[in-house]
Amino acid sequence: MGLRTLSALWLDRLAEQTARLCRALAETASAERDRWLLWLPVMVAAGVALYYALPMEPPLWPAGALMAVAGASAWGLRRHAAFALMAVALGAGGGGFAAAKLRTLSVAAPILQRDLGPVAVEGRVIAAEPGEAGGRIVLAAPRIARLSAETTPESIRLRLSRTDSLPPVGSTVRARAMLLPPTPPAMPGAFDFGRQAYFARIGAVGYTFGRVTILEAKPSEAGWFAGAGERIAALRLAIHARVMAVLPQRTKDDATGAMTAALLQGEQSGIPRSVMDSMRDAGLAHLLAISGFNVALVAGALFVSLRLLFAAMGPLALYWPTKKWAAALTILGIFAYTLITGASLPTLRSFLMTAVVLIAVMLDRTAISLRLVMAAGLALILVAPESLLGASFQMSFAAVIALIAAYEASRAWARRQRAEGGSLRRVWLYAGGIVATSLIAGLATAPFAAFHFNRFAVYQLVANMIAVPLTAIWIMPWSLLVYLLMPFGLEEIALVPMSWGVEALIELSRRVASWPDAVLLLPSLSQSGLALVTLGGLWLCLWRRRWRYAGVPVILLGLASLATVRPPDLLVAAEPGLFAVRGADGDLQFASGSAAGQAFLRDVWRRRSAAFASGDDAARLRCDALGCIYQAQGHTVALLRDDAALAEDCREADVVVSWGALWPARCRGPRLLDRRTLTANGTHALWLTPEGVAIATVREERGRRPWSK
């Protein structure tokens, strides 16, 4: 048999196997027709992600054109299911892109372009947050000296001095303040606070000098609906004040009152940083973020309490649908709870899902869980597309989708175990359910935690096995009683026992966080790696048949990208003298004398620069009165403190950094980073490799978008 004949046979066999595989995939996809709709929010989210990934602001018309072409194609190809579905997917992506663009246009408002102040500021307080080091207020319709009406932001956020008290929400105040543009990312790839402020319509941030003067304490005269936001903000502040009156802070690290208030009204800014760190390191911070867990507990407690109350009324329970009444009243209760706790995205998601489940109870129907989750996700993405980029959205939906998929897969087995076993087996099933829930939720959210926070709590499973029952059985029932007693001024009756559970939670977090190697710092997962993990996870969770397991290698491939991540060797901020270099041990070494106000910047640098591997063994930093020299991979970076060293450094260095203004003509050889370059482009990240020096900047990462300075 000749070589040509063998090749033909091999090609025929390959074509046959390919055709067989395609038929099998088509049959499997057809058998999962009821799951196709679950992918619609995924396609919309892909369009939103594409919009935010672009380096320049795009026009709206391409998205509209894509939607029109996709709609026409889907109709024309309706007899060919595969091609019609592809057209629908493209149209959904175009819809997500258009939704993100329209959202950007709808919130457009002036942004402060330069530091301004000290300057006189007047405005109406629409939000107030107590804090450990002075509270924060948001002023609407501010009047700012030296700014015209056209360039004045619609709202600004100010941090008060430590000795100043929070003014009432709705009051008009005057202050002398230093104003700055919204905070850019701390380094290339870090979270963009400026983008977050843009969508909150906050055009400037800053801090006050001296005391804030209340010009008018009368609240806004806007109608009930228009002033609802201010009324809710005032109510949340009043709840915090009532809690702190019963549970005052006795020492600097006493967080019982602040954490109790956070569980009741959602504001965490008053919790001491040491306690927040221990909660994060123990893997318990999710208990403070009012989310699905809290809403589910409140809904369950309300529903059961109302059913028992109606059952105790005898004839009423016999002749009227009290179960449906309880469901309706529970919806109203969790709606009020959602508003009081700040209506964060995880809370809104959980409220929507829980409300639909309760409506199904009222209609004698059973809610479809994953469809419910994806519908809630689609609603949030269309209303607030920017939420897709946040850690709360990603981690909340990752945990819920993974838990529901696991529940669907194990439902029949769990039903058999409950039916065949006695009381002891039910206890073990409950305990195993807590362990499985913590494990699944932890695994599902770990990649997103690595991407956003660069940390993994090693003992979170152990901590949650104790903390979750404590919160569910003791803390949350007492919190519900606090709400019921507070209108009568009797909240102390429930606050005191609730605080015992909170104290136990704090002590648990401190003990777990103190265990050896309680936290692992992880490198920042790349955006492409996160996309692979997300796609693989969705493929695993949204399908039912065995082809779902094809998502596992995709997840592993995304996680494997962590090994290819190389943090920068050198970080240089625009603030004079602030830089960090990677030492031989792989850790960052910061320039001495960095200001205390730059602690946040240094914390972000340290977290996002974590690495599995050690640094270059030959890396070294030498400093004297004139500046510092950093050498690694055969390259030299000079960081000047005094321009007297400029001539020598220009001859020997590959990159020269100076926080003064330098003319390029004075230093022709190396790459020059001076005050103008650093101020215009933000933090610079440098990688020293044998091939050369690569530089990335915050400005390059942000691109030319409406929220970038």
Prior bond of 670 cis (ω within 30°): no
pLDDT over 90, % of the chain: 23
pLDDT of amino acid 90? 92
Total residues belonging to the chain: 709
pLDDT reported for residue 619: 64
Distance (Å) of CA 71 to CA 74, 83, 422, 671: 5, 12, 56, 51
Q: What is the pLDDT of residue 25?
A: 75
β-pairing verdict for 570-572 and 519-521: unpaired
Whole-number mean pLDDT of the chain? 84
What per-residue confidence (pLDDT) applies to 297? 77
pLDDT for the residue numbered 218: 67
Edge-first strand order for the sheet with 620-624 is 620-624, 627-632, 635-640, 655-658, 671-673
Q: Check residue 596 and give its pLDDT.
A: 47
Largest Cα span, the chain: 99
Q: φ, ψ for residue 215 (rounded to 5)?
A: -85, -35
Q: Residues of the chain whose pLDDT is less than 50?
A: 593-594, 596
Distance CA 99, CA 105 (A): 10
The DSSP H or E segment spanning 456 is: strand 455-457
The pLDDT of residue 197? 93
Q: Return the pLDDT at 7.
A: 66
Measured distance CA(681)–CA(699) in Å, rounded = 5
* DSSP codes, 182-227: PPPPSSTTS--HHHHHHHTT--EEEEEEEEEEEEE-PPP---TTTT
- Count Cβ atoms within 10 A of the Cβ of residue 122 and give its class: 0-12 exposed, 13-18 middle, 19 or more buried: middle
pLDDT of residue 45: 95
